[in-house]
Amino acid sequence: MARLPDLPEELLHQVVSYLQPPPLSLTSTPWGHWPPYLGKYIKTTTERNKDLASLAMTCKQLHERLFATIHKPTNVNSAENSGKLWDNIDANSRIGSSITTANIHGNLSLESVEFIFFLPNIRTVFFRGWSDWEPFDQDTELLDGSGSSPIGSSPVTHLYLTDCGAHEAPLNQMMNWFKELKELWYEASQVEWDGHYAGGEEAPGFTCSAISRALSPLKSSLEKFVFTRNDPNHEGLYYSDAIDLREFSKLRELCVFHVLLVGYSDRNTIWKNLPKSLESLEVWFDDLGYTNFICDGGPAGAETPDWLFGILKHKGEAFPGLGRVRVVSLEWWDMDQDEEGDGESGDATFRLPRELTRALEDKGVSYSVYLHESRRWKEVVEGGMRWDEKWDEGNIEYPRNL
């Protein structure tokens, strides 16, 4: 019987493939809950990589053949752990060259993990709990001996920031590192923006305009932006500011919580803040009862979403490639009737405002609207874009099995 190390390369690859985790895919899950889905993926990846590493340790030949595979992902959960990784890479450059994905957590400072962003083949970084208030002096010597981190040289293309309370200056410091970041998934922790700096100066508070400025180095590379928050904190958000992405010339997909896109002022002019390259817009109402897609108590006195009408009105001139819009708002207007025993009788007669569906169809924009498990509509219109993925709608209201 042939030993495992003696197997041909293609057979060994097939054996290893059963232990390797599947590639990350968040497009088939409701993105409003993307952090727990990502957490589940990272947990699965970590467990499978341990099994793979155990297999590689069974003999020297197998370890050599699987060296790059077992070192592709790296997990950093403390400053001590980060220091050990630095030492290991310094002692064996093959480790640094093999790393393509980093999972950083444990409320670490950016300074303690800076070198990871400049490893030669790093492409994806998961960073949870980062909450620096101020940038650091970039005088750390990198492994290549180049000195301070060069602006625009990090090869990372996909960045996932969960429970992120970092303020504008450190955010901007990081964003200046990337050569060509294509996807940013950013979950803001608003409460981290409140308090006082050393010396008693009051912290600025969370604003979307601060996020716009912090992300400005990405305006020539970012293709997909997912922007959410971990808690509907009203006091922590200055509603007069909306995210401004008009100069992000390559941004095609935008998934954003409603209050971060629209706020409470100038709803008719939100379209001015969006880039001409936009093809897909997805908006999620994350604070049930505080902001709704259809307002003022339901169909009888519904207020139409002015922000969306403004976008559709100016589609031709502002973003001619816009092909689809998705809205998720878990609102339920006739709850009192249901409690009296009428059940879901209103669902048979309720329709989206005809003015809205006509505007979407006239502009060639496909739409998907989810307001409740029995109030959902999805239409691919002539000239509009399709949805390649199929959402698990059973997990929209709350992600299960995580």
Q: What is the dihedral of CA 213, 214, 217, 223, to 10 degrees?
A: -100
Q: What is the pTM of this model?
A: 0.89
Q: Provide the phi-psi class of 147: left if phi over 0, else alpha when psi is between -120 and 50, else beta.
A: left
Contact (CB, 8 A) for 127 and 164? yes
Give the separation between CA 209 and CA 204, rounded to whole angstroms: 12
- At position 84, the amino acid (one-letter code) is K
**Domain locations in the chain as residue ranges:** 72-389
The encoded tokens of residue 218 equal: 């990405």
**pLDDT by residue for the chain (402 residues), tens digit each?**
456 666 676 676 666 666 777 788 888 788 999 999 999 999 988 888 887 777 777 777 777 777 888 889 999 999 999 999 999 999 999 999 999 999 999 999 999 999 999 999 999 999 999 999 999 987 655 555 555 557 899 999 999 999 999 999 999 999 999 999 999 999 999 888 887 677 777 777 888 889 999 999 999 999 999 999 988 766 545 455 788 999 999 999 999 998 889 866 567 788 999 999 999 999 998 877 777 887 644 444 456 788 999 999 999 999 999 999 999 988 765 444 443 333 333 354 567 888 999 999 999 999 999 887 778 888 999 999 988 767 767 778 766 666
CB count within 10 Å of CB 27 equals 15
73-76 and 224-229 beta bridge pairing: unpaired
Which strand ranges, in their side-by-side order, compose the sheet holding 324-329? 73-76, 101-104, 124-128, 158-164, 183-188, 224-229, 253-257, 280-285, 324-329, 366-372, 375-379
